[in-house]
Amino acid sequence: MTVYAIIGGTGLTKLEGLTISAVLNIETPYGAPSAPILRGNYADREVLFLARHGHPHRIPPHQVNYRANIWALKHAGADVIIAVNAVGGIHAAMGTGHFCVPHQIIDYTHGREHTFFAGELEHVTHIDFSYPYNDILRDELVEALAAEGVAYSSHGVYACTQGPRLETVAEVARLERDGADIIGMTGMPEAALARELELPYACLALVVNPAAGKTHAIITMAEIERALDNGMDKVRATLARVLAG
């Protein structure tokens, strides 16, 4: 049976309802993962869970050890990865509380350890990253969202920015011209690293605020936290439907 790994982002540092059977402290060639990997049962299915920002939430996006996280999940037995991401909305459809299952990503990050193919190599390796998200996993997420009856988009372009600050109005305008629909800070290099280790990967994105310039109000953490509180039950229900098959 396929072993699903869930990477929880902001608002999902623990997976309520997970019956934990093992806490895995895995050492990797790239250092320590963000948190121990939890193996357990969720929705009558064995799963692995990793808090991307640690538990408690303490590691900013640009300091997450993405290589250690993905390597550790592979080592723990993950067959596929579903990443949960809190994002800002650019496209008019992407209002607060809306879900998106992106089909493409644009990487605006810099200075992150972004590949396993580095150091003393026997040969140069290039992966095909034309389509960064796995379509089978994406379809499972879309079907689950539809069954939950929540507002969602089955496609979208994820712009991954460096963080930890939020973007300027001019930056968001540029991202919109580039074709981005949502903005996050953790989608890369996570997706590319999963591809390098041949782990099918998909993203479940929850919009927690309008992007800069999409509202006249200043974006506040209180606003984001309210959206997270309101959305996490729907995230968990969606994941449970996927795992239930």
Residues of each annotated binding site for substrate: 185, 209-211
Q: State the amino acid at position 4 in one-letter form.
A: Y
Q: Which positions ≥6 away from 117 have C-beta within 8 Å?
A: 124, 125, 196
**Residue stretches of the annotated binding site for phosphate:** 10, 52-53, 186
Count how many Cα atoms sit within 13 Å of the Cα of residue 46 in the half-sphere of its side chain: 10
H helix count then E strand count, the chain? 5, 11
Question: Distance between CA 230 and CA 237 in Å, rounded?
Answer: 13
**Minimal CA–CA distance to 99: which of 82, 114, 115, 79?**
82
Amino acid at 9: G
Distance CA 238, CA 148 (A): 7
CA within 13 Å, CB half, 99? 27
Selection from 29, 129, 14 nearest residue 71 by Cα: 29
Residue ranges of the binding site: 10, 52-53, 185-186, 209-211
Give CA–CA dist 192/197, Å, rounded.
9
Phi-psi region of 41 (alpha: psi -120 to 50; beta: other; left: phi over 0): beta
